[in-house]
Amino acid sequence: MFAGKWTQKPEETRQQKIRRLWEALDRADAVVIGAGAGLSASAGFTYSGERFEKYFCDFEKKYGFHDMYSGGFYPYDTLEEYWAYWSRYIWINRYTDVPRPVYEELLDLVREKEYFVLTTNVDHCFQKAGFDKKRLFYTQGDYGLFQCMEPCCQKTWDNEGVIREMLERQKDMRIPSELVPRCPHCGKPMTMNLRADDSFVQDEGWYRAAERYSQFQKDHRGMRILYLELGVGYNTPVIIKYPFWKMTRQNPEAVYACINFGEAAAPAEITEQSVCIDGDIGEVLGQIKMADAAEAPSL
């Protein structure tokens, strides 16, 4: 569908792009937010460096990995070690708050609009910031849910209480054996509800969210829609990025906006409908908010 030629409209200044994005947001009948890991990174959920050292220096010293992602794929010898690592990981990336109010600032920009959020993030930041949970579709799961590792059934279970206990009772990078989570139905070990392969459980909540997103698209077909892509890379472009391009091209009234650090571009076929801004998402949202305030009528 796309020829593989990319554009960022380099003749535009940063301020001109901010202005065009503000105008697209202001006139939009609806906003579809597509959010990836870059959004949470902008808000402070980083997975290496100082934050990794603070929570995982003992794991780094023993196992030799240097970031949280690598630790998540490490082949631990026992489930007790595995859950000692993952309980810390889940706690700090799901049950603690992000350091910077980027999600709240995003909500301020869209709260008066018809909006829907499609995200590959699994950290619950949208709901903690106050977004309507009925306008959210977490396509890749949720750190806050367990599922059977097999899986023997298409069900998930909340994990906050168990994760908290694992965190409090772990010692020497191991949890007590009795805390290893097991499926209530078959007794086999449980794992996080994260999409990694075909064992991912899409429970009733997942399908309800998918249906709400589908209905939102139908209800706003052909309208002035802003497809606002935030921090989406190329690990899973078929979920957000490619569909946003396709829907923009199919709708002359649509605008595609991409804010990303180092990866802000659009296909040549939708250049005139696109606004691509290379930069920190939080900073750009702040600039859009300033543009909005500048246009507000004085009382």
Residues 114 and 154 occupy one common structural domain: no
Beta-strand ranges (E) seen in the chain are: 6-7, 30-35, 114-119, 136-138, 141-148, 157-158, 190-194, 225-230, 255-260, 266-267, 274-278
Give the mean pLDDT of 60-86. Answer: 97
Among candidate residues 132, 164, 194, the one where a domain is terminated: 194
Residue 1 lies in a domain: no
Residue 155 lies in a domain: yes
Exposure string for 204-219, b = 16+ CB within 10 A, e = fewer: eebeebeeebeebbee
Q: Is the pLDDT of residue 3 over 60?
A: no
Residues 29 and 169 occupy one common structural domain: no
Classify the phi-psi angles of 122: left when phi > 0, otherwise alpha if psi is within -120 to 50, otherwise beta. Answer: alpha
pLDDT of residue 290: 87
Q: Is the pLDDT of residue 144 over 90?
A: yes
Among candidate residues 153, 173, 194, the one where a domain is terminated: 194
* 276 annotated among ligand-binding-site residues: no
pLDDT of residue 299: 35
Residues 35 and 154 occupy one common structural domain: no
Residues 165 and 259 occupy one common structural domain: no
Residue 172 lies in a domain: yes
* 148 annotated among ligand-binding-site residues: yes
Residues 131 and 211 occupy one common structural domain: yes
Give the mean pLDDT of 138-164. Answer: 97
* 125 annotated among ligand-binding-site residues: no
Residues 173 and 280 occupy one common structural domain: no
Residue 177 lies in a domain: yes
pLDDT of residue 145: 98
Residue 225 lies in a domain: yes
Residues 243 and 278 occupy one common structural domain: yes
The whole domain housing 286 covers 6-42+100-140+203-294
* Structural domain total, the chain: 2
Mean of pLDDT over the chain: 94
Bridge partners of residue 147, in order along the sequence: 191
**Higher confidence at residue 230 or residue 290?**
230
| CA–CA gap between residue 81 and residue 65 (Å, rounded) | 15
Residues 167 and 184 occupy one common structural domain: yes
Q: What is the pTM of this model?
A: 0.94
Q: Is the pLDDT of residue 228 over 60?
A: yes
Give the mean pLDDT of 249-272. Answer: 95
Indicate which CATH number applies to the domain containing 254: 3.40.50.1220
Give the mean pLDDT of 140-160. Answer: 97
Q: Is the peptide bond before 99 cis (omega within 30 degrees of 0)?
A: no
- Calculate what percentage of the chain has a pLDDT beyond 70: 94
Residues 29 and 121 occupy one common structural domain: yes
Among candidate residues 194, 222, 237, the one where a domain is terminated: 194
What dihedral do alpha carbons 240, 208, 193, 122 form, nearest 10°?
A: 40
Residues 111 and 237 occupy one common structural domain: yes
Reported confidence tier of residue 298, pLDDT bands at 50, 70, 90: very low
* 153 annotated among ligand-binding-site residues: yes
Residues 183 and 288 occupy one common structural domain: no
Q: Is the pLDDT of residue 297 over 90?
A: no
Contacts of 212 (CB under 8 A, 6+ apart): 116, 134, 135, 137
Contacts of 166 (CB under 8 A, 6+ apart): 83, 84, 87, 175, 179
Residues 21 and 51 occupy one common structural domain: no
pLDDT of residue 160: 98
Residue 261 lies in a domain: yes
Residue 121 lies in a domain: yes
Asked whether 157 and 138 are in contact (CB, 8 A), the reply is no
